[in-house]
Amino acid sequence: MSDLPHLILFLNMRLIDKLPCHTSDSSVAYNTIRYFQGGFYVFLTSIPIAALSSLPFELSQRKKLILQIQRMPSEKKSALLQNLLLPYDLSYLPLHDLFTYREDAWLPKTCRRPADTAIRDVSLQDALLIYFDYNEKTCLIKLKKGQYGIYFGGEIGLYCADHIVSPQNRTTTRFFSIAESEFLPLSLELLEEDLSTFQLSKRHWRLRGFQIGRCPVSADSQLKVSVTFPDTFMLQRFIHGLLEAGYSECELTIRKLTISFLFPSVNESPNYHTRSSQFKENAVKWQNAFHCHLYSFLTHPFDNTTDKLIYLHTSHPSMFRYLCRIRS
């Protein structure tokens, strides 16, 4: 076991060596290597050591814990998991095997531009920004989907500036979340290879859904979005914003004050943002796949998320805390 840190270091260096480094994008390569040598290396060395060193549990103790969880009534386990997730403002929906944020959760009240996330996170997400002017201010609906570390999911957020923003100043203007009185009925459905992964509906300013332990090989995912507006004028202004973002009228489905459309993996709009480089994408894909395999390995005695997370909370509390911080 004393050679384990050296083995992990060796694997880490092999990973960096295997990634395709493009000399034409040296700054991205440099930042990515710094990223690996920083936070990722800390996690890569600490979590596997904790997992593979048996931590505080001997084999007999782990077996006892597994039996205890398996014999616990389902209602008690569901209530226990919800209480464990409470400090992280998360809620688990067992029917859809889905994590979402509680209605009273604290969420950032301003919108970050995709470029602001830079290279420091462990996310692989596509983002689309839809701007439209309404009621003497510029509004923004932001869509995101993809990999959030060990999670796979999508989200929609509604923001407004306090004035009309010209198109050339939109990327440098700070947008704020809308007031509760302005919340809109939102609906999200994440599709993977034309199959529904999950669906969420709520009246809010931000709607998010994530499934844990999923790292799809294919990036062919679509987000089906529906928004219901309070009046026809706001709906028409949003349609204008969609057309500016590269949509055509035949791609929009309108029923009364509700509009539905798909956010695909490829979009020609200048407001569409995807992964910054192939170099970074390969690095983060490897890291996310490693975390997903580690999660599956540690929780292999169980076949449902509730049991897995209760087990991790007791046997590997540091990893449980890490998993409860969704990287967006």
In three state form, how does the secondary structure of the chain look? Answer: CCCHHHHHHHHHHHHHHHCCCCHHHHHHHHHHHHHHHHHHHHHHHHHHHHHHCCCCCCHHHHHHHHHHHHHCCHHHHHHHHHHHHHHHCEEEECCCCEEEECCCCCCCCECCCHHHHCCCCCEEEEEEEEEEEECCEEEEEEEEEEEECCEEEEEEEEEECCCCCCHHHHHHCCCEECCHHHCEEEEEEEEECCEEEEEEEEEECEEEEEEECCCCCCCCEEEEEEEECCCHHHHHHHHHHHHHCCCCHHHCEEECCEEEEEECCCCCCCCEECCCCHHHHHHHHHHHHHHHHHHHHHCCCCCCHHHHHHHHHHHCHHHHHHHCCCCC
Q: Is residue 78 part of a domain?
A: no
Q: What is the C-alpha separation between 51 and 4, in angstroms, rounded? A: 12
Instruction: Specify the pairing of strand 123-134 against strand 272-273.
Output: antiparallel
Q: Residue 264: which domain range?
A: 114-273
Judgement on whether residues 184 and 222 belong to the same structural domain of the protein: yes
Judgement on whether residues 162 and 289 belong to the same structural domain of the protein: no
Q: Which two tokens stand for residue 46?
A: 């600490």
How much is the pLDDT for 7? 43
Judgement on whether residues 141 and 201 belong to the same structural domain of the protein: yes
Judgement on whether residues 149 and 212 belong to the same structural domain of the protein: yes
Place of tokens 């057309």: 243
* Positions in the chain whose pLDDT score sits under 70: 1-58, 106-123, 217-219, 265-277, 327-328
Judgement on whether residues 150 and 33 belong to the same structural domain of the protein: no
Q: Could you report the per-residue pLDDT of 168-186, keeping only the tens digit for each?
A: 999 889 999 888 899 999 9
Find all residues with CB under 8 Å of 133, minimum gap 6, and list them: 139, 164, 237
Number of domains in the chain: 2
How much is the pLDDT for 194? 77
Q: Model pTM? A: 0.74
Q: Is residue 238 part of a domain?
A: yes
Q: Is residue 81 part of a domain?
A: no
Beta bridge partners of 299: none
Q: Is residue 20 part of a domain?
A: yes
Q: Could you report the per-residue pLDDT of 27-76, keeping only the tens digit for each?
A: 444 454 444 444 444 445 545 555 555 445 467 788 899 999 999 999 99
End-to-end CA distance of the chain: 35
Judgement on whether residues 187 and 203 belong to the same structural domain of the protein: yes
Judgement on whether residues 282 and 316 belong to the same structural domain of the protein: yes
Judgement on whether residues 312 and 261 belong to the same structural domain of the protein: no
Q: Is residue 251 part of a domain?
A: yes
Q: Which two tokens stand for residue 319?
A: 């990893």
Beta bridge partners of 157: 142, 206
Closest to 216 in 3D by CA, of 300, 285, 136, 141: 285
Q: What is the C-alpha separation between 189 and 260, in angstroms, rounded? A: 11
Q: Is residue 84 part of a domain?
A: no
Judgement on whether residues 174 and 215 belong to the same structural domain of the protein: yes
Find all residues with CB under 8 Å of 129, minimum gap 6, and list them: 140, 141, 142, 170, 245, 271, 273
Q: Is residue 285 part of a domain?
A: yes
Q: Is residue 283 part of a domain?
A: yes
Judgement on whether residues 196 and 232 belong to the same structural domain of the protein: yes
How much is the pLDDT for 115? 44
Judgement on whether residues 190 and 284 belong to the same structural domain of the protein: no
Judgement on whether residues 129 and 224 belong to the same structural domain of the protein: yes
